[in-house]
Structure 1
């Protein structure tokens, strides 16, 4: 089978490419290597995790380029992870989210429809729950009160994929990721931001006075869920399903910081701040549906998964942590 992975130089994308190749799939990736964060990290990530994997430089809004790639590669399945990420950045640059997450997503749906793709697995986000749901977040809860444009675009992706499944019988599975972390992670997210700051002796900004809980999910568990979902395409009149992929164990932010302090061997300098626009106080995944459908079972607590992130930051960034 040939699997096309978009966002292949991204954090989850590179690990997904690695896992697919390791089990013998033919993997082709694409990424636009944009400057949302340092593209050098993306290139180093690819070199470390995906040596020998064919990853093309291509943007989701390039319809002709995407069509040519589909015609050349002839993928059987698509794992669509490319998107403009980040809750807070969506408050500053909304047009980037419309271009990548809406226009780009339509381009992928159209190509999957017209090229007869057997299964489209795409990234959604726990952010879609917004103010409508109460923990633990279930896929049956409403997602019509997003707290950011980023969340709104991800909720729109789910509606768009459902429409294509209904109209054209395109098998599609949406995955709502819950705060993914691990070595080679995104430098704009709390695990790396906090780890690097503690290692360098800089202050960390702790929002909502630290009264926050997050369902931190190790990247290895997320990739296991992606592959499980990919191998179990939906059927039925409307072949579309959505699953939570999370750890089902929310962690107090102060405990999260304490684990980083212990791994770094030094205390954090905290600067407490008010709640940020677009943020959520608590996230917690109900993963029963994913477990029933393809055996999803996360195994990595932060006490095991977070220290290697701190050590990786020290090794990769050095004195510039």
Structure 2
């Protein structure tokens, strides 16, 4: 078997490769890593091809003899790159896949931005049958387009496509910095869109943690997943007949409740909660389909998410770095 991986140098890609290469059931598989802005060190089982997935010749070379595709490469809020990577690149990969005599599965890692995560209100838990509703920006739009493209290739050509739709992926100390005030904040929403600069400075000095409130004034509930659990879902879906032609939500069993996080951090670390009103909506990404059909279970709940983030000691050679805007 030969697995093509795009986005292999990213957060999910790096964690996936380590887990995949160490698993006995995949010991006879080889990997082709298609890299662009960053690269990997080649090994006897990992061949590295450097180039853009928007380059037809590069994609054709990368797809030679491939039996499985794991497509994770993406751009965030970069309109100048979005069409080339997410639309043309996806199209070229799918075209090679449908023509391939060896391909068995094409797996796409999507995101809950395709259903608007906290930007749109859903009256019930978000399932795989819920309508796609991108939030403003090109990143969410590209994820909707990618999901629709693979769906249509299934309909048009009988392609065996699998989509894993994940919310915000956490690793290392990400969650701690997602809850921090000041210049070290990771991800969004940017505090400058919700509070004044003076308020942010004051909260940073106190070491406060945000207790976000939704549009109705209740504690916000937002979906997360730890990278280890997402990697577990990818491994469970890879070459699995139960994943044929299927879309799965891959998330924690319950969304993270900002009130529970604030209470937990106050009790365990004496951190003061700061209530912040937002225009966002609480949503619940339902992962029951993946638990039922793939036999997969997430192992990181909100307490484990907190403990892992606060206990993580970052190596001096591994500074926090933003690889993409947005």
Shorter-chain TM band: 0.7 to 0.9
> In structure 2, do the counterparts of structure 1 residues 134 and 27 end up closer, same or farther at CA, with 3 Å as the change threshold?
farther
> In structure 2, do the counterparts of structure 1 residues 114 and 274 end up closer, same or farther at CA, with 3 Å as the change threshold?
same
CA distance in structure 1 between the partners assigned to 2:110 and 2:245 by the alignment: 13
5+ long unaligned stretches in structure 1: 34-38
CA contact 2:49–2:62 (8 Å) conserved in 1: no
**Paired positions, count:** 288
> In structure 2, do the counterparts of structure 1 residues 125 and 319 end up closer, same or farther at CA, with 3 Å as the change threshold?
closer
> In structure 2, do the counterparts of structure 1 residues 292 and 192 end up closer, same or farther at CA, with 3 Å as the change threshold?
same
Q: Aligned-pair distance for 1:282?
A: 2.5
CA contact 1:17–1:29 (8 Å) conserved in 2: no
> In structure 2, do the counterparts of structure 1 residues 243 and 63 end up closer, same or farther at CA, with 3 Å as the change threshold?
same
Structural mapping, 1:209-224, within 5 Å = 211-224=219-232
Structural mapping, 1:124-135, within 5 Å = 124-130=110-116, 131=120, 133-135=122-124
Deviation digits for residues 38-76 of structure 1, max 9, x if unmatched? x6xxx7xx68xx9974444332212211212223xx221
> Which of 255, 258, 261 in structure 2 is aligned with 1:253?
258
Counterpart of 1:36 in structure 2 is none
Please identify the structure whose Cα radius of gyration is greater. Answer: 2
Counterpart of 2:79 in structure 1 is 94
CA distance in structure 1 between the partners assigned to 2:224 and 2:158 by the alignment: 34
Q: Which runs of 4+ in 1 moved over 6 A?
A: 202-205, 260-263, 317-321
Q: Aligned-pair distance for 1:261?
A: 7.4
CA distance in structure 2 between the partners assigned to 1:320 and 1:65 by the alignment: 31
TM-score between the two structures when normalised by the length of structure 2: 0.74
Counterpart of 1:295 in structure 2 is 295
> In structure 2, do the counterparts of structure 1 residues 28 and 283 end up closer, same or farther at CA, with 3 Å as the change threshold?
farther
CA contact 1:135–1:285 (8 Å) conserved in 2: no
CA distance in structure 2 between the partners assigned to 1:164 and 1:129 by the alignment: 21
Counterpart of 1:79 in structure 2 is 70
5+ long unaligned stretches in structure 2: 186-203, 322-326
Structural mapping, 1:1-321, within 5 Å = 1-23=1-23, 24=27, 25-33=29-37, 53-71=46-64, 74-85=65-76, 90=77, 93-116=78-101, 117-130=103-116, 131=120, 133-143=122-132, 145-148=133-136, 149-183=138-172, 191-194=176-179, 197=184, 206=210, 211-233=219-241, 240-256=245-261, 267=271, 272=276, 274-275=278-279, 280-312=280-312, 314-316=314-316
CA distance in structure 1 between the partners assigned to 2:316 and 2:121 by the alignment: 40
> In structure 2, do the counterparts of structure 1 residues 247 and 184 end up closer, same or farther at CA, with 3 Å as the change threshold?
same
CA distance in structure 2 between the partners assigned to 1:121 and 1:320 by the alignment: 29
Q: Aligned-pair distance for 1:30?
A: 2.2
CA distance in structure 1 between the partners assigned to 2:47 and 2:320 by the alignment: 31
Q: Aligned-pair distance for 1:8?
A: 0.3
The worse-fitting range, judged by mean Cα deviation, of 149-158 and 221-230 is: 149-158
> In structure 2, do the counterparts of structure 1 residues 51 and 118 end up closer, same or farther at CA, with 3 Å as the change threshold?
closer
CA distance in structure 2 between the partners assigned to 1:262 and 1:54 by the alignment: 49
| 2:249 counterpart SS class | strand
TM-score between the two structures when normalised by the length of structure 1: 0.75
The worse-fitting range, judged by mean Cα deviation, of 117-126 and 214-223 is: 214-223
Is the helix fraction higher in 1 or 2? 1
> In structure 2, do the counterparts of structure 1 residues 112 and 208 end up closer, same or farther at CA, with 3 Å as the change threshold?
same
